[in-house]
Homo-oligomer: A and B are copies of this chain.
Amino acid sequence: MALIARSREIIAENADDVQAARKADAPAAMIDRLLLDDVRLEGMADAIRVVAALPDPVGVVESGWRVPNGLEILATRVPLGVIGVIYEGRPNVTTDAAALAIKSGNAIVLRGSRIAERSNVILGEVVANALAGAGVPTGAVTMLGTDRDEMLEMIRAEGRIDLVIPRGGEELKAYLTENARVPVIYAASGNCHVYVDESADLDDALAIIVNAKTQRPGVCNAAETLLVHRAVAAEFLPRAAAALSHEGVEIRASDAAKAAMGDAGANVRLATDEDFATEFLALVIAVGVVDSVEEAIDHVNRFGSGHSEAIVTRSLAAAQAFQHGVDSACVYVNASTRFTDGGEFGMGAEIGISTQKLHARGPIGLADLTTVKYLITGTGQIR
């Protein structure tokens, strides 16, 4: 694959981006998202292979039936047309998004961020060459420049752009909500929660919160808030605080949570409502104590962004209440929120995680880049 054959060049261009970002004092999470190495390039190549091997979504007859007058109706999957993707510092989005768009029969317009410009330019060139070699029309993958005017033109190009997927934070979302005239699916922020129920296996709970918070803190499915049932707070929170601190996590705790931490909470800062509403994307966590699974659900629905939440419990009733009561794309029982990912879900690469309810929710996969056309065949039917 060209991506691997040209890995030296790609990593060299990326290193320039990374160096410039470091010089500009970019936050560690941003640099983590930007960085490419052999392992990540291999992961990108694997994602393309997985997408290539997926069944072609175009032409699939989703459903078909005959109505009493004899008309035959086939709901058939067709490409959306032209898809725009706006993304920030993760260069793997370039190849993931291009692979998904081409596999689903769409053209794609990519608009990366300035911080990853060199990486994206070479990745775009590698993709374009590979596609030209395979006979895909030129222009099927287009890379926009990084100034805001081009982005504004794209998000107002009604009738020429069929869908824009912004992958970014709340600021980008607010900008598009205000300015976009084309259809948009928000792949927005993830203020994800882990709730440790009174009946939780506390070893599992510890492993899950440490994993969800620290395994890759810069991504949207990382946990940002830990909620603990009051009945197990005094037993669990000292262990959790110690383990998280050990991993370098800064803890911001409610009064009750801080008190339950005992000695481990001595230097812990008090959490504000704003902390509970924040997607830190860093080694920071907000910690609260709740009296019931219902209070946990209310907290999640109030502060969450509708992305991914987990309950750790041995109670079937608590698991069911949480899964049905929480209004988020992905609701986990006894697993880390980090699994919200097209690859982990077995969908191949994803083009983002949708936190909206329309068209696509959760990992945006291949089928979500298509629409339905009704093909209706008759023998002269009239009403």
Question: Which residues of A does B touch, CB under 8 Å?
Answer: 65, 67, 71, 73, 80-81, 158, 162-163, 177-178, 181, 183, 185, 201, 204, 207-208, 211-212, 215, 319, 323, 327-336, 338-340, 344-346, 356-359, 361-362, 371-383
Contact = CB atoms under 8 A, between A and B. Distances in A.
B67 A346 contact: yes
Contact of A181 (B71, B177, B181, B183): B177
Given A357-B81, A358-B358, A330 B376 contact: yes
Contacts of A338: 382-383
A161 to B, nearest CB: 11
A381 B162 CA distance: 38
13 contacts: A67-B344, A73-B345, A80-B357, A207-B380, A215-B382, A330-B376, A332-B378, A335-B382, A338-B382, A339-B381, A358-B359, A359-B359, A361-B374
Nearest to A158: B177
Contact of A71 (B158, B183, B204, B339): B339
A162 B377 CA distance: 35
A339 B162 contact: no
A154 to B, nearest CB: 15
Nearest to A336: B382
Contact of A362 (B181, B372, B379, B381): B372
B80 A332 contact: no
Contact of A211 (B177, B178, B340, B382): B382
Nearest to A341: B383
B371 A339 contact: no
A361 to B, nearest CB: 5
User: Which of A212, A338, A358: most chain B Cβ within 10 A?
Assistant: A358
Contacts of A340: 374
B333 A376 contact: yes
Given A357-B81, A382-B207, A383-B338, A373 B331 contact: yes
Contact of A380 (B67, B204, B345, B377): B204
Contacts of A204: 380
Contact of A374 (B208, B327, B329): B329
Contacts of A336: 381-383
B71 A323 contact: no
Nearest to A203: B380
Contacts of A73: 345
Contacts of A178: 181
Nearest to A208: B382
A253 to B, nearest CB: 23
A327 B379 CA distance: 22
Contacts of A158: 177
A378 B328 contact: no
A373 to B, nearest CB: 7
Given A177-B158, A357-B162, A323 B382 contact: no
A380 B81 contact: no
B71 A335 contact: yes
A132 B181 CA distance: 39
Given A67-B346, A207-B382, A383-B215, A373 B183 contact: no
User: Which of A208, A329, A361, A381: most chain B Cβ within 10 A?
Assistant: A381
Nearest to A209: B382
B335 A373 contact: no
Given A183-B358, A357-B81, A328 B373 contact: yes
